Chain A
Amino acid sequence: MPKAHLIIIGNGMACGRLLDEILKRNPDQYRITVFGAEGYANYNRIMLSPVLAGEMQADEIITHSEQWYQQHNITLHSGDPVVGIATEDKTLTCQSGQTFSYDELVFATGSNPVMPPVAQACELDGILSFRNLDDIDRIMARVSTIKHATVVGGGLLGLEAAWGLRQQGLDVTVIHRAGWLLNRQLDPAAGKLLQQSLEARGIQFKLKAQISYFNGEQRHASDTTNALRTIVLDDGTTLNTGLAVIAIGVSPNHELAQNSGLACDRGILVDDQMQSSHPNIYALGECTQFGKHTFGLVAPLWDQASVLANRLCNLPGQRFRVQPCATKLKVSGIDLFSAGEFLDDPESESVICQDPTNGVYRKLIFRHQRLTGAVLFGAVNDGNWYFELIQSQTKVQQLVPDLIFGRRYCDGDAIAQLTPAGAVNTDTAAPLSLATGATS
């Protein structure tokens, strides 16, 4: 009997992880075909920033080479995107016109960068996103010809891009809509410290700022498009800049799914087994929407891959649920960790510990004797322990105020006596801070 045919659309990190998980469970169950829009093997998108910063080479971030696909008898179709799906026939069609039939179909189409309308309207050369290796090529192609670059968006990805550009020797200005950086992960105080650290590294900032319009001009008489020259902000400031990297967020790439009749909202709607509205069709990663949540960080994606692999390999039981997320910023020398809540409110209690001389800021937020958030800057020790305590909803009142100094300051016996709240209800464990789309 021939093996069932599993097709995965999208060859990003979600796909790579899913393949690993399936092969780990049962390497012989499926004949597998993967369709990738990008002309590369599978790579670690998280590491794009170090590549831009020149700290790593593109080939160093490949996780699954073309050779790997061959070794595991996985058919990889790079650069031939799927354009249509006939769900009743369980077939799909590629741009090249080829048609494939599947038994099980997985959407791992990821997300698209959000572009501001003014950028979409102006059609200028030099306004780029920062999502894949092609983006890096495009950015790098300009770096040598310009002095100044602008990054739009002071989230994780924007700041990593800014650092990368700065490492390439450019003057960099970050334009950010909110009053402080990483406003989806940090409180104002930590945001301010981060800003100071980055300013010390030569990056400039325009906060509470929005772009009014981009201006461009023909660089060479032969050019068909105008190149970016200036950005005018809503406060009237004009920045002379040769490059604008847009990093204001991502939106799930669910166009194909929607066109194929799958139930979609902001993303492809999935249940806790990662199944879409159609049987035999699944989705995972940034293209999905689970309840009201969409995803932008790697941790939930790993969970989804595991759940889906179980499902596909007929290993029942595991259910996907939304967990608080922890974030880190990959800028050399800047230690930053955020998990769960990051802003105080009248019902919460917080403990703040700071050493401005050493650029250290730590904040823990508590509710009902439980840790619900951690914002660490400068000294990120024990971030993951806090993250575990947040996830497990452990009562930690007896460890306050030692807790903020880390596990090694807390009484070992007191730690041993901590009892997690037990099974976490999805609703109460609601995403405390989901950095949706801020990073890969």
Chain B
Amino acid sequence: MTHTANPETCQVKTTCPYCGVGCGVNATVSHNQLIAVSGDKDHPANYGRLCVKGSTLHETTDLTGRLLEPQINGQTASWDQAINHVAQGFRNTIEQYGPNSVALYLSGQILTEDYYVANKLMKGFIGSANVDTNSRLCMSSAVAAHKRAFGADLVPACYEDLELTDLLLLVGSNTAWAHPVIYQRILAAKKKRPHMKVVVIDPRRTATCDMADLHLALKPGSDGYLFTGLLSYLADHDALDNDYITQHTEGFENALQAANSLTANLSQTAQLCGLNEQDLSQLYQWFSHTDKVVTLFSQGVNQSSSGVDKGNAIINCHLATGKIGKPGAAPFSITGQPNAMGGREVGGLANQLAAHMDFSDPANIERVETFWQAPHMARTEGLKAVDMFQAIDEGRIKAIWIIGTNPVASMPDADMIRRALDKCDLVVVSDCIAKTDTTACADVLLPATGWAEKDGTVTNSERVISRQKSFLSPAGNSRHDWQTICAVAQAMGFAEGFAFTSPREIFAEHAKLSGYQNNGQRFFNIEGLSELSETEYNQLQPVRWPIAKGQQNGPLRLFTDGRFNTPSGRARMLPITPQAPLNQVSKAYPLVLNTGRIRDQWHTMTRTGKASRLLNHIDQPYVELSIQDAKHYDIEEHDLVEISSPQGRCLVKAKLTADQPTGSLFMPIHWTAQFASAARVDSLFASIKDPISGQPEAKHCPVALRKVDTAWRGVLISQNELTSLPCEYWCKVPLSTGFRYELAGLQQPKSWPLWLQQVIQPGDDRIELNSASNYRLISFQQQRPELLFFASTDTLPSSTWLSKQFEQSIDSAAQRMSLLGGKPMDNSDDGGAIICSCFEVGENTIRQAIRQGANSTDALATQLKCGSNCGSCLPEIRSMLR
């Protein structure tokens, strides 16, 4: 598809590329620049709202840091060369080692159309199901729980249910930070309907707890007990919907029996969850007595070695009470990524086939094979993410193509991932960003279009398909992922299956497949969208699936008739025996590390890290710990601490908070090797995963904590990005111009000026402060600071103030000195132009003294000393007295 830059200002409706809420965005575009964004008032996800990340989208679309040209082994290459290199590499590997020696690793951030062609290439034409995605890391347990309970990966509810409900349980979900627009909607609903209760179930006291009527700070990983305990309680307290159980479910008896095995009574459950009985009983009572209950669950549930079971434990409670398929009543899994759902619909995971079909039924395989006219059909599940990288490490997979994701930062045991990729014969990475922890491991780099350039569809957490539109020309020589995938497929000899010329054609095929031989067997059906014209596709309004042939839009809720997507049509209740996290604390690793997002960053910061505004909230990686733990480990706020596990170590600053339970730490997931010396939190995690979903246990890692004694700290602000910083701790904070680096070292350099020279050569126009304990240097280029370096064995001035000054023009010598001083001058006693130089008495000061009664030079000399030394200012003073 060709694209011409838009010369005039226009508005484009598109979809936010960040979290799974999938907000509609109005983009104001002028001369091929995104100049403003606002929330789309008509979009059902956000009705005009945007969070801070979404609001700063226009600050992230510049070309800084973008990957603009294909590269082979570090050398710029043409697209033809790159495509042929990749196709040849894959073909050779397949010829020599078979189709399972290659793999694709995708992302919940690529579009449905990209997903579709990647999945098709791998499963129908290469003949392997080794295609997985980073959605494995956040969603796959919910997918598996859905499939087990409902017969397919179906989200029963919509966002409106969060507003209609009378009791909202937020489980393992810091909605306020991870899904801010949903949080806003809940908050507004609660204000409107004050009787609506919100319960937050989370070991941490998160920002979301601000709106909670009840916060259950349960023991990390004990959520399974809480929900089997709830099922037992419901049965004990006559709070079941027996009609619903009888008519619409199966497996109730086994489910209850399993629940009763560990959590038959409240006190047992409370103990297992580390909660007090009153609080737990309060929740159970509310659940029992409220018809409209929504349990919104997210990574806190999914990222567990028993995440699927936890999902089913939640769903069991809703099924047993019939709190599903009704307005304001449902179990509701909210996704992390903007198009995890689209990927799931396409089937772009190793244990899925396509369009909500899996490998369990040979008929599925045959159906898809026929539809695709597939020459090499995969017939068994492929390797899920953790196993996939394991296979790379073991040499079983020899070529991998990673598209739109950063596994060296986001996979557990992330250092192993790096080692594995370094060993792998062919690593192809498609990305819109040039420097990521993963592109650093690539043999071939393929520049991808980014949000604002990409064109296609995404599906959000409530089954709404929205258009993401292209309104900027592709950056540099970048291409859409679907184009690249199709080009590689064609170069591999699969021309027929990949002759797509637009995303609409791909979407149409995807839609057609969903309806192909469906006959109501598969709830996921969007055949109604398969005949869209180019114009209709371009103007497609947000629609909710299922949309069978002839339909325009789908229902708000699924299962309203109590019919599920299982062979029997009944929902399955699963017998769940809850488990504690597999990896338990030990003497050597006595603390539990939890992870999560922060409000203003997205994933590995490749895009949000470009908007300096988004670093104003939190600018450095950190570990949160309780006051008691801080005391125990002799740690104070901002101390540098080491967090270590058998897999790796991180070095970050300590944040002390009463919100963190004792014995448990929290680190954000966002910082990569591009942003900090040692803050890749996933390098700490072992590859422990759920046996069913393969989702890693990323919320529970036993670690050791230690205070690190730093000899010095520094801040370095540079116009240019720096490549090597020889000190133990550094962290990059992008500014609107330039970069700030926070530094700390264990040993004071023999000479700070020499240390600095190893990093960067300051310009000649410089000012310096030098003492044994402090060194400061600022160099200027045409009145603007180009480099600023402050180092101290003691304290440093405010980085924020320095950063602000760095972006200003500094004209006078006094301003330069003020900058070197590291803080604004106190102007409260501006004495005015100096009259008496001997005693530095200014005109304002003298005039004020005269006004207050000093009527002679002697009087002034007594009061201010002015004129009492050399006397050369006396004439001026006398003239002021006249």
Q: Which residues of A contact B (CB under 8 A)?
A: 44, 46-47, 50, 63, 298-299, 302, 328, 330, 349-358, 360, 378-385, 400-402, 404-406, 408-409, 412
Q: Do residues B769 and A404 form an inter-chain contact, with CB atoms below 8 A?
A: yes
Known: A46-B870, A328-B838, A384-B840. A360 touches B813 (CB 8 A): yes
Which one of A302, A330, A408 lies within 8 Å of B827 (CB-CB)? Answer: A408
Of the four ranges (under 10, 10 to 19, 20 to 34, 35 or more), the interface on chain B belongs to 20 to 34
Query: What is the chain B residue whose CB lies nearest that of A326?
Result: B838
Quote the shortest CB–CB distance from B762 to chain A (angstroms). Answer: 12
B820 interface residue (CB < 8 Å to A) = yes
Quote the shortest CB–CB distance from A411 to chain B (angstroms). Answer: 9
Which one of A299, A358, A381 lies within 8 Å of B840 (CB-CB)? Answer: A381
Query: What is the chain A residue whose CB lies nearest that of B824?
Result: A409
Chain B residues with CB below 8 A from A353, complex form? 767-770, 817, 820
Which one of B792, B813, B823, B871 lies within 8 Å of A44 (CB-CB)? Answer: B871
Which one of A63, A352, A358 lies within 8 Å of B816 (CB-CB)? Answer: A358
Chain B residues with CB below 8 A from A384, complex form? 838-840
Most B CB atoms within 10 A — which of A302, A350, A360, A380? A360
Q: Do residues B838 and A358 form an inter-chain contact, with CB atoms below 8 A?
A: no
Those 9 A-B pairs whose CB atoms lie nearest each other, nearest first: A405-B821, A358-B813, A351-B771, A355-B767, A353-B769, A408-B826, A409-B821, A401-B774, A408-B825
Q: Do residues A355 and B870 form an inter-chain contact, with CB atoms below 8 A?
A: no
Quote the shortest CB–CB distance from A46 to chain B (angstroms). Answer: 5
| Chain B positions 800-825 with a Cβ under 8 Å from a chain A Cβ | 813-814, 816-818, 820-821, 823, 825
Known: A298-B870, A351-B771, A412-B826. A405 touches B820 (CB 8 A): yes
| Chain B positions 836-882 with a Cβ under 8 Å from a chain A Cβ | 837-840, 868-872
25 contacts between A and B (CB under 8 A): A46-B870, A46-B871, A47-B871, A298-B870, A328-B837, A351-B769, A351-B770, A351-B771, A352-B770, A352-B771, A353-B817, A354-B767, A355-B816, A356-B766, A357-B765, A358-B813, A360-B813, A379-B813, A384-B838, A401-B769, A401-B774, A401-B792, A408-B825, A408-B829, A409-B825
Chain B residues with CB below 8 A from A63, complex form? 871
Quote the shortest CB–CB distance from B830 to chain A (angstroms). Answer: 8
Q: Chain B 744-779, CB within 8 Å of chain A: the 1/0 string?
A: 000000000000000000000111111111101000
Chain A residues with CB below 8 A from B829, complex form? 408
Which one of A47, A357, A358 lies within 8 Å of B870 (CB-CB)? Answer: A47
Q: Do residues A409 and B769 form an inter-chain contact, with CB atoms below 8 A?
A: no
Known: A328-B838, A384-B838, A402-B821. A44 touches B769 (CB 8 A): no
Quote the shortest CB–CB distance from B149 to chain A (angstroms). Answer: 63
Query: What is the chain A residue whose CB lies nearest that of B790?
Result: A401
Q: Do residues A409 and B840 form an inter-chain contact, with CB atoms below 8 A?
A: no
Most B CB atoms within 10 A — which of A351, A355, A378? A355
In angstroms, Cα B769 to Cα A402, docked, is: 11
In angstroms, Cα B542 to Cα A265, docked, is: 103
In angstroms, Cα B773 to Cα A404, docked, is: 14
Given contacts A353-B817, A384-B840, 13 further A-B contacts (CB under 8 A): A46-B871, A47-B871, A50-B872, A328-B838, A330-B870, A354-B767, A358-B813, A378-B813, A379-B817, A381-B840, A384-B839, A405-B818, A408-B825
Query: What is the chain A residue whose CB lies nearest that of B816?
Result: A355
Q: Which residues of B contact A (CB under 8 A)?
A: 765-774, 776, 780, 792, 813-814, 816-818, 820-821, 823, 825-827, 829, 837-840, 868-872
Q: Do residues A44 and B774 form an inter-chain contact, with CB atoms below 8 A?
A: no
In angstroms, Cα B818 to Cα A412, docked, is: 16
Q: Do residues B817 and A360 form an inter-chain contact, with CB atoms below 8 A?
A: yes
Quote the shortest CB–CB distance from B772 to chain A (angstroms). Answer: 6
In angstroms, Cα B838 to Cα A299, docked, is: 11
Chain B residues with CB below 8 A from A355, complex form? 767, 813, 816-817, 820
Chain A residues with CB below 8 A from B813, complex form? 355, 358, 360, 378-379
Known: A328-B838, A360-B813, A381-B840. A409 touches B823 (CB 8 A): yes
Query: What is the chain B residue whose CB lies nearest that of A55?
Result: B872
Chain A residues with CB below 8 A from B780, complex form? 357
Chain B residues with CB below 8 A from A406, complex form? 825
Chain A residues with CB below 8 A from B814, complex form? 379
Chain A residues with CB below 8 A from B827, complex form? 408
Q: Do residues A354 and B768 form an inter-chain contact, with CB atoms below 8 A?
A: yes
Quote the shortest CB–CB distance from B775 to chain A (angstroms). Answer: 10
Chain A residues with CB below 8 A from B767, complex form? 353-357, 360
Chain B residues with CB below 8 A from A378, complex form? 813
Q: Do residues B817 and A349 form an inter-chain contact, with CB atoms below 8 A?
A: no
In angstroms, Cα B792 to Cα A352, docked, is: 14
In angstroms, Cα B839 to Cα A63, docked, is: 20
Q: Do residues A351 and B821 form an inter-chain contact, with CB atoms below 8 A?
A: no
Chain A residues with CB below 8 A from B871, complex form? 44, 46-47, 63
In angstroms, Cα B24 to Cα A362, docked, is: 58
In angstroms, Cα B429 to Cα A250, docked, is: 82
Known: A328-B838, A381-B840, A384-B840. A400 touches B771 (CB 8 A): yes
Query: What is the chain A residue whose CB lies nearest that of B827?
Result: A408
In angstroms, Cα B583 to Cα A39, docked, is: 101
Q: Do residues B869 and A298 form an inter-chain contact, with CB atoms below 8 A?
A: yes
In angstroms, Cα B813 to Cα A405, docked, is: 12
Q: Do residues A382 and B840 form an inter-chain contact, with CB atoms below 8 A?
A: yes
Quote the shortest CB–CB distance from A188 to chain B (angstroms). Answer: 15
Most A CB atoms within 10 A — which of B769, B792, B817, B825? B817
In angstroms, Cα B837 to Cα A350, docked, is: 25
Quote the shortest CB–CB distance from B59 to chain A (angstroms). Answer: 34
Quote the shortest CB–CB distance from A125 to chain B (angstroms). Answer: 33
Chain A residues with CB below 8 A from B818, complex form? 405, 409
Query: What is the chain B residue whose CB lies nearest that of A404?
Result: B769
In angstroms, Cα B779 to Cα A354, docked, is: 12
Query: What is the chain B residue whose CB lies nearest that of A410?
Result: B826
Chain B residues with CB below 8 A from A298, complex form? 869-870
Chain B residues with CB below 8 A from A354, complex form? 767-769
Query: What is the chain B residue whose CB lies nearest that of A401?
Result: B774
Chain B residues with CB below 8 A from A302, complex form? 868-869
Chain A residues with CB below 8 A from B765, complex form? 357
Chain B residues with CB below 8 A from A402, complex form? 821, 823
Q: Do residues B826 and A409 form an inter-chain contact, with CB atoms below 8 A?
A: yes
In angstroms, Cα B773 to Cα A382, docked, is: 22
Chain B residues with CB below 8 A from A46, complex form? 870-872
Q: Do residues B823 and A349 form an inter-chain contact, with CB atoms below 8 A?
A: no
Q: Do residues A299 and B869 form an inter-chain contact, with CB atoms below 8 A?
A: yes
Query: What is the chain A residue whose CB lies nearest that of B780?
Result: A357
In angstroms, Cα B818 to Cα A96, docked, is: 64
In angstroms, Cα B829 to Cα A385, docked, is: 14
In angstroms, Cα B839 to Cα A299, docked, is: 12
Known: A352-B771, A355-B813. A47 touches B872 (CB 8 A): yes
Query: What is the chain B residue whose CB lies nearest that of A60?
Result: B875
In angstroms, Cα B814 to Cα A379, docked, is: 9
Chain B residues with CB below 8 A from A404, complex form? 769
In angstroms, Cα B772 to Cα A330, docked, is: 33
In angstroms, Cα B870 to Cα A63, docked, is: 11
Query: What is the chain B residue whose CB lies nearest that of A46?
Result: B870
Quote the shortest CB–CB distance from A389 to chain B (angstroms). Answer: 14
Chain B residues with CB below 8 A from A380, complex form? 837, 840
Quote the shortest CB–CB distance from A378 to chain B (angstroms). Answer: 8
Chain B residues with CB below 8 A from A44, complex form? 870-871
In angstroms, Cα B825 to Cα A405, docked, is: 9
In angstroms, Cα B814 to Cα A378, docked, is: 11
Chain B residues with CB below 8 A from A412, complex form? 826
Q: Do residues B869 and A349 form an inter-chain contact, with CB atoms below 8 A?
A: no
Query: What is the chain A residue whose CB lies nearest that of B774?
Result: A401
In angstroms, Cα B820 to Cα A213, docked, is: 49
Quote the shortest CB–CB distance from B816 to chain A (angstroms). Answer: 6
In angstroms, Cα B765 to Cα A408, docked, is: 25
Chain A residues with CB below 8 A from B870, complex form? 44, 46-47, 298, 330
Chain A residues with CB below 8 A from B838, complex form? 328, 384
Chain A residues with CB below 8 A from B868, complex form? 302
Chain B residues with CB below 8 A from A400, complex form? 771, 773-774
Which one of A328, A349, A356, A381 lies within 8 Å of B772 (CB-CB)? Answer: A349
